[in-house]
Each structure stands twice: as C-alpha cells, then as structure tokens.
Amino acid sequence: MTIHPMIAALRKHKAGVVLIALQIALTLAIVCNAVFIIGQRIQRVDRPTGLKEQDLFLVTNQWVGAPTGDDPASIQKLDSLLREDLVTLRSLPDVASVSPVNSMPLLNSSWNGAVALQPGATLQTIKARTTYFFGDQNFVTTMGLHLIAGRDFNAGDVANKGFRNTSEPNIIIVTKALADQVFPKGNAIGKAIYLDGSNTPSTIVGEVARLQSPSTGSGSNASVWNAVIEPARLDGNFALYAVRAKPGRIQAAMREVAPALYKADPMRVLDDDSVKSFADIRAHAYRADVGMAILMGVICLILLGVTAAGIVGLTSFWVGQRHRQIGVRRALGARKSDILHYFQWENLLIAGGGAVAGVGMAIILNLLLMKYYEMNRLPVPYVLAGVVVVLLLGQCAVFAPARRASNVPPVVATRSA
C-alpha cells in the first residue's frame, strides 16, 4: 500500500481531515492532563497516615457549664473532667486504649509551628516546619504508631495545661521525617530542639516511623510528614479522645461511648458527629479529591465517546461519497481486505497527524496548568499512553464504516453513481 494516493485523496476533504485531526489533538491534550490529575489525586488519597487505621475512632466532647477561664482552678476542674472521661472510656468492654488528643491526621484542624536548634529562633535558624500533636502515655499505642527508636512516654512524663497555653514541653517524640530534616546525620534521640522560637529546650526521647499532619491541603506537601508529639493533656471546654477498639469490635465500642459518657456525667453535648470512625474521617478529608477524580474520569470517557462518534460520522460520509470509486477499485481486482485496510490506513494517517499536534497541545496545556494550578510536569508515559489510546480509538471508530465500504460490490462501478 502506498501512501501517496491516499494523501491525494485526503486533499479533496481538507476541511474534514483537519476537523478530525484537530478533534483528536484536543482530546489527547485534555485526556492526558486529566488522567494525570486523576492519578495525582489518587496518589494523595492513598498515601498512608502512619496510623493503624483499623479499629480507631475519635470522640469529640463538649461540656456544659464547665469553667471558661484559664486560671489554675478552672484548669484543674477541666482536667478532672477530662481524666474522669478517660477512666470511663478505658473501662468500656470493647475498648483497648484511649488517649486525649488535640487533632488527628486528616482532621484538617492543626497546630503548627517551627523547629530550631538554637533558642529564640530566627528565620535563619529555623530548621523545619512541623505540626504538633498532644497526647498522654497511650498516644503512640492508641494511634497505632510504629516507634523505631528511643522510648515511648510514660505516665510520669505527662502533664496538663490550659488550651491556650503555649509553653513548651521538656521531652517530645518526633517523626523520622522531622528528625532526618533537623539532624541529617541521624541519631536524633537525646538531642534538644527549640520549638516556636522558645528559649527552653525540648529533648527528643523517641522517634516514630510516620505520622501525617492533620491538614490535607495540597499546599502542605513539604511538611506533611513532620510532626512533634508532646506529652500533655490540653484542658479546654471541649476534648477529643482517640479510642482504639479491641480488634474487630469498633462498631460495638462506638455504640458504647455516648451512653457511658452521659451516665458518668450528663452535663455534656455529644451530637451525631461526635463519635466518628477513622474510616469516616478519611472519607471526609478526601471527598473533594475523590469527587474531582470521578468527575474528570467521566468527562474523559464522554470525550473519547464524542470523538469516536465524530470519526464514525465523517468516515461514513466519505464512504458514501466514494461508493463508485470503491466499486471501480473492486472491479479492477482489489480485495475486500484492501478496501478495509485503505480506510484503516487513512484513519491512522489522520489520527497520527492529530496525535502529533496533540502531544504539542498536551505539553502546552500542562505548562499552563503548572503556571496557574500548581500542577507537576506531565510524565512522558502519560503522553505516550494517550497517543496509543487515540490511535486505537480511531481504529475502532473507523472499523464499522470501513467494513461497510469493503462490502461495496464491484458492480457499483458499472452504475452511474
């Protein structure tokens, strides 16, 4: 099969050829980038938090009539309410362990700051941004974190303080990511760091493998694995408890919580949202990403469908127009498969041209997205896969009209068109 006559034939349908090629190019550009966005979203949604997420849930409690002040008497009163709740929760039959917390990964409410190696940090001496978690001696166990060096907190390490109090702790546990960033040579255990420009050192006693920051925004990617755990119970008008149920007993444990807390002290508010499994927190945190991925996916599919329909429509028209020509070729000895192949090659030629233009457009679109929407560079495999997809799409779309063309009997040649 020679290309030359095919190009000559296509010249007669310039408008149609350009339209199909343009459509294929645009489809390629949009689908490549959309699939890349979907891939990035899925990657973000799938990253592990460092928690053992199964059997973990969160209880949010607000007390009624509890003191609002932060004088020592009010704080001690709030702390006794908190400790009573911890006793109540720990005594539940299906609960394995409980820790008071200030937040959890993916909860989108975070307490952030900076870490330095010298007291009274300045911009030059700040080593890393970090997020803070507060919990007691059960925090690491309850969250299901993996302690890789040093020791866990013990009961003697844990103090309580007012919710608005920002004084710094003597000892802390950090994530490996943060330790590596501040002490690139390793061995962070036993070293002292200064939190938030403070003048008092905090000594690192333990290191956990991984713990994700509570924020899920895309802007926080750089420090998403940096975390400091402080051994403290925060006393405020409300309290959050992380609860680990005994294996497989999460449903039962979640049902036990509200009645038990109300029985111990009815002066509180627990609403529908107050007892939430970590699975729900995860679903909630990433709902927009998942929604966006689904929407993009659907648009991509429709787009491919529309493009295929366009190819079917125009090729059918060409086949109809060239009925007589096809008949003549058949009469001159062309086999059915020759006719079929002719239209397939023709489509490959157009789609190939479209794909070449499409690769250029995909790259331009990607550059625009990088400029305005914090996108990453589109990897080559995505573009190549896109090219294969549009070429295959063209071949599938052209098959039906091409077969119809190959079925044109040679006798057509003898009829006046």
Measured CA to CA, the distance from residue 38 to residue 43 in angstroms comes to: 9
**What region, left, alpha or beta, does residue 322 occupy, with left being phi > 0 and alpha being psi -120 to 50 degrees?**
alpha
Measured CA to CA, the distance from residue 179 to residue 204 in angstroms comes to: 9
Asked if 95 is part of the footprint of another protein (rule: CB under 8 A), the reply reads no
Among positions 7, 87, 288, 392, the unique one binding another protein when judged by CB under 8 A:
288
Q: Report residue 193 CA to chain centroid gap.
A: 32
Helix 14-46 × helix 380-406 angle, to 10°:
140
Specify the long-range contacts of residues 75-82, CB closer than 8 Å, at least 24 apart. 75/160, 75/161, 75/162, 75/235, 78/235, 78/236, 78/237, 79/160, 79/233, 79/235, 81/239, 81/265, 82/160, 82/233, 82/235, 82/239
Asked if 121 is part of the footprint of another protein (rule: CB under 8 A), the reply reads yes
Asked if 357 is part of the footprint of another protein (rule: CB under 8 A), the reply reads no
* Both structure tokens of 185: 């040579």
Asked if 122 is part of the footprint of another protein (rule: CB under 8 A), the reply reads yes
Asked if 30 is part of the footprint of another protein (rule: CB under 8 A), the reply reads yes
Residue 50's SS3 state is coil
Instruction: Decide: 410 and 322 in contact? Cβ < 8 Å.
Output: no
Among positions 7, 87, 279, 302, the unique one binding another protein when judged by CB under 8 A:
302
Among positions 105, 135, 236, 386, the unique one binding another protein when judged by CB under 8 A:
236
Interface segment toward another protein; rule CB under 8 A; list 79-87, 95-103, 135-143, 296-304: 296-304
Among positions 20, 38, 188, 275, the unique one binding another protein when judged by CB under 8 A:
20
Asked if 65 is part of the footprint of another protein (rule: CB under 8 A), the reply reads yes
Taking the CA atoms of 282, 283, 288 and 292 in sequence, report the sign of the dihedral they define: positive
Comparing CB distances to another protein, the nearer of 22 and 252 is: 22
Residue 37: how many other CB atoms lie within 10 Å? 19
Residue 120's SS3 state is coil
- In the complex, the smallest distance separating the C-beta of residue 27 from another protein, rounded to whole angstroms, is 6
- In the complex, the smallest distance separating the C-beta of residue 354 from another protein, rounded to whole angstroms, is 11
- In the complex, the smallest distance separating the C-beta of residue 125 from another protein, rounded to whole angstroms, is 9
Asked if 119 is part of the footprint of another protein (rule: CB under 8 A), the reply reads no
Comparing CB distances to another protein, the nearer of 75 and 140 is: 75
Comparing CB distances to another protein, the nearer of 5 and 305 is: 305
Interface segment toward another protein; rule CB under 8 A; list 127-135, 139-147, 193-201, 331-339: 193-201
Q: DSSP alpha helices (H): ranges in 250-286?
A: 250-264, 278-285
Comparing CB distances to another protein, the nearer of 53 and 196 is: 196
* Beta strands 227-235; 126-135: pairing state: parallel
Comparing CB distances to another protein, the nearer of 148 and 400 is: 400
Judged on CB neighbours under 10 Å (0-12, 13-18, 19+), 122 is: exposed
- In the complex, the smallest distance separating the C-beta of residue 168 from another protein, rounded to whole angstroms, is 6
Among positions 43, 91, 154, 167, the unique one binding another protein when judged by CB under 8 A:
167
Judged on CB neighbours under 10 Å (0-12, 13-18, 19+), 247 is: exposed
Comparing CB distances to another protein, the nearer of 164 and 185 is: 164
Percentages helix, strand, coil for the chain, rounded to the nearest 5? Answer: 50, 20, 30
Asked if 88 is part of the footprint of another protein (rule: CB under 8 A), the reply reads no
Asked if 165 is part of the footprint of another protein (rule: CB under 8 A), the reply reads yes
Q: How many residues bind another protein (CB under 8 A)?
A: 67
Asked if 2 is part of the footprint of another protein (rule: CB under 8 A), the reply reads no
How wide is the angle at C-alpha 209 spanned by C-alphas 284 and 230, nearest 5°?
A: 75
Measured CA to CA, the distance from residue 335 to residue 363 in angstroms comes to: 42
Comparing CB distances to another protein, the nearer of 91 and 321 is: 321
Site for another protein in 314-333 (CB under 8 A): 314, 316-317, 320-321
Asked if 15 is part of the footprint of another protein (rule: CB under 8 A), the reply reads yes
Residue 240: how many other CB atoms lie within 10 Å? 21
* Residues near another protein (CB under 8 A): 15-16, 19-20, 22-23, 26-27, 30, 34, 37, 62-70, 74, 113, 120-123, 162-168, 196-198, 200, 236-238, 267, 269, 271, 284, 287-288, 291-292, 295-296, 299, 302-303, 306-307, 309-310, 313-314, 316-317, 320-321, 369, 373-374, 417
